[in-house]
Amino acid sequence: MMSSNIFPAFISQDQVSKIQASSKIEVNPFFEVPITPFFDVTSAIIFAFMMGISISWLRKHGKGEFSYGLIGEFNEIITKVLSTAIVPLLPFFIFGNFSKMAFTGSVFAVLSIFWKIFLCVIALHLLYISALFIINGVYTKKNPVVLIKNQIKGYLTAVGTQSSVATIPVNLECAKQNSVSKGIRDFVIPLGATVHMPGSMITITACTFTILTMYGMDHSYLLMLRYMAILGIAMVAAPGAPGGAVMSALPFLPVVGIPSEGELASLLITLYLTQDSFGTAANISGDTAISVGIDKIFNKHIVKNNDYKDGFNDEIINAKEI
């Protein structure tokens, strides 16, 4: 609603003309290292789902220790590569893209549009987070203002780190301050860091809509709904690292008519990364809000009915002592 009614007012034809004219100027790298991926992203997502569910099933039946250990070690390898090679180079990637836009003369036209878009996006983030805390606060009969106050530390940490995974320890502490039992917060917060990414969804959708509008491409409600539905699935596979969400979204850009490689995709990546901090903060804050409601659901419908009998219920009931 905001995108269709407010965003077009920020886009002038003069600015669009400058951006489109600059796209005709080619800037080629000194050299390229072509790397063919083992899988395309869609195949990788399906394979990851299949392996994850299968290994969980094996573990449930007392098998799959080797597979579980292998996947765990592979996860550590990927995390190490991200932390030591990919994440430190991201600022250089952003610098390079902005340098290219400066050379082609489009940087000021792009920024004059997108700084207003980003203010709207951050407002949407805050509205979404507030709504989650209010809904879960009312449901659990806790003061939403107090719940939000306890989350400020986690929000600011996410703004500084740009990583959902790096913010998990602080977010666990925020959930503890909101009286979420240890078992629930230890489950919901890490899981939410990889599957609950509303801030990233809002940002990617808003930036994509703006790019489509700027270049006079189709941006109908039906098309954007299809795009958001696909992104909802793709975000599950997004790594909890800076830029992970937008990189997972790239293969699905052709759904809205944007090539997954080229000028428009590069523009989307750059714009997303410049505000990734706030998207990450919205993601992890939403995780805490959801954990508050899930904690009550667990106590009310499972622990109370004695449907969970492996000792975890005692931990939940005595949450305030932990």
Q: What is the average pLDDT score of the chain?
A: 80
Give the amino acid at 311. G
Say whether pLDDT at 312 is over 50. Answer: no
Say whether pLDDT at 321 is over 50. Answer: no
pLDDT tier at 228 (50, 70, 90 boundaries)? confident
118-to-10, 276, 279, 288 alpha-carbon distances in Å: 11, 11, 10, 24
pLDDT tier at 31 (50, 70, 90 boundaries)? confident
Say whether pLDDT at 129 is over 90. Answer: yes
- From CA 116, how far away is CA 132, in angstroms rounded? 25
- From CA 99, how far away is CA 94, in angstroms rounded? 8
Q: Is residue 269 part of a domain?
A: yes
pLDDT of residue 318: 46
Mean pLDDT for the stretch of residues 119-127: 91
Q: Which residue has the higher pLDDT, 202 or 318?
A: 202
Q: Is residue 6 part of a domain?
A: yes
* Closest CA relative to residue 211, chosen from 166, 172, 265, 288: 265
Say whether pLDDT at 304 is over 70. Answer: no
pLDDT of residue 199: 87
Q: Is residue 281 part of a domain?
A: yes
Q: Using one digit for the tens of pLDDT, what is the confidence trace for 138-160?
A: 999 999 999 999 999 999 998 88
106-to-61, 94, 101, 276, 279 alpha-carbon distances in Å: 58, 15, 5, 22, 25
Q: Is residue 84 part of a domain?
A: no
CATH of the domain at 10: 1.10.3860.10
Identify the domain containing residue 18 by its residue range: 1-34+90-302
Q: Is residue 62 part of a domain?
A: no
Number of domains in the chain: 1
Q: Is residue 272 part of a domain?
A: yes
- Quote the strand ranges of the chain, DSSP E: none
pLDDT of residue 23: 65
Q: Using one digit for the tens of pLDDT, what is the confidence trace for 85-97?
A: 777 777 787 788 7
pTM higher than the cut 0.85:
no
pLDDT of residue 134: 95
Give the amino acid at 220. S
pLDDT of residue 311: 46
